[in-house]
Amino acid sequence: MEKLGLYLSIPFCRSKCTYCNFASGVFPAAHHERYVARLEEDLRAIRTRARAWGAVLPNAVDSIYVGGGTPSLLAPALIRRLFTALRREFAVMPTAEITMECAPGQMDSAVLETLAECGVNRISFGVQSFVDSEARHTGRLHTRAVALEDIRRVQKAGVSQVSVDLIAGLPGQTLESWYESLRVLAETGVDHASIYMLEVDDESRLGRELLASGARYYAQEVPGDDLIAEMYSEAIGYLAGHGLAQYEISNFARPDCESLHNLKYWRRQPYLGVGLDAHSMLRARSGAALRFGTTDDLDAYLGSAGWTEPGRMSREQELEEAWFLGLRLNEGVSLAMLRGQFSASVVRACLATVAQLEDEGLLRFADGDRVTLTARGRLLSNEVFQRFLAEPAAA
């Protein structure tokens, strides 16, 4: 049976970044205990819930991702409670990849010791920029020196894998300052990096300010789309030259350091998300994919509301998803695998779209079996994915 990936959402932050529209926020520490108690309750009830939904819930877990939010803000005793609850309900494999997201400057020594003690072997730092003014303008509280010191502390504490996130397109960023962030990242020797192109959500503070032409969050200094695209393209070559090869649209790793947990999302392997605004994909006994999630309203979640009823995906939806998630990966989509999962006639029906996108320079064939995005296709990936949404129903 396939192994399970577990995601735990911890929606607490010390300050709200200007570009962020996640279901996260600054809440009093008193909420933390109630929230962890609620997670424990959900974990205890999950098998009964899965049975009632006809979902197959694997017992063996090979990846855990604690994200948010800033989970490292939880007190050590609460972190211990979470891992105890996880291990009580699931068989966490000794080799499991266990990641926790941390914000630089927001992980005290007791928390770091507790993470190592609980088996966390991967830390993902939301650095976003190693240029102090850029970090400050988006509401981040750290400086480059603090971020570098935290990376060193984690490496010294024996956490074997470290990932750093950067954002291309922050207010005030130039190609030169972007190269500075990339240079510092490469010098840290971390084995994984995530590079996101800034997408300003209208509901974030930055987005509202852009619409209103305000100046408080430096919205008028957001670089243009062409410059952001150039920063992203430059990062691919630069990181490859420093041993971090791209394996997904936004992700780069040294050999064998890809994020096992995130690969599950793109490969459509089962995962369970617990906590606020968490998403899950499990299989029904028939093999069909079941998707469900939880509320993004913290008060409702703490008040025991929570799970949406699972939606069973149609074969057509599963096929669409196999394309647009698989194409995110550099390994691309294997036609042989698609034929196995769907049927030869269904794959044949997709080939006209593939050929058209190949003519437009957005897709290419590799090894006669795999379809992958080209460099241009990666920049226009949403357009490519859109073209797979109207494929004929799977037989």
Q: List interacting residues with ligand SF4 (CB under 6 A).
A: 13, 16-17, 20, 22, 24, 68-70, 103, 126
Of 181 and 372, nearer to ligand SF4 (C-beta) is 181
CB of 70 to ligand SF4, least distance (A): 5
150, two tokens? 């935290």
Of 126 and 273, nearer to ligand SF4 (C-beta) is 126
- CB contact at 8 A, 209 and 219: yes
Q: How far apart are CA 21 and CA 79, in angstroms?
A: 25
Q: How far apart are CA 279 and CA 8, in angstroms?
A: 10
- CB contact at 8 A, 100 and 120: yes
In whole angstroms, what separates CA 21 from the centre of its chain?
A: 14
Consecutive H or E run containing 139: none
CB of 322 to ligand SF4, least distance (A): 29
Using CB atoms within 10 A of its CB, is residue 205 exposed (0-12), middle (13-18) or buried (19+)?
Answer: buried
Of 62 and 134, nearer to ligand SF4 (C-beta) is 134
- For residue 307, the cross-strand partners are 294
CB of 126 to ligand SF4, least distance (A): 5
Of 26 and 389, nearer to ligand SF4 (C-beta) is 26
Write a three-state SS string for 194-253.
EEEECCCCCCCHHHHHHHHCCCCCCHHHCCCHHHHHHHHHHHHHHHHHCCCEEEECCEEE
CB of 251 to ligand SF4, least distance (A): 17
CB of 28 to ligand SF4, least distance (A): 16
CB of 206 to ligand SF4, least distance (A): 11
Of 106 and 188, nearer to ligand SF4 (C-beta) is 106
Of 16 and 81, nearer to ligand SF4 (C-beta) is 16
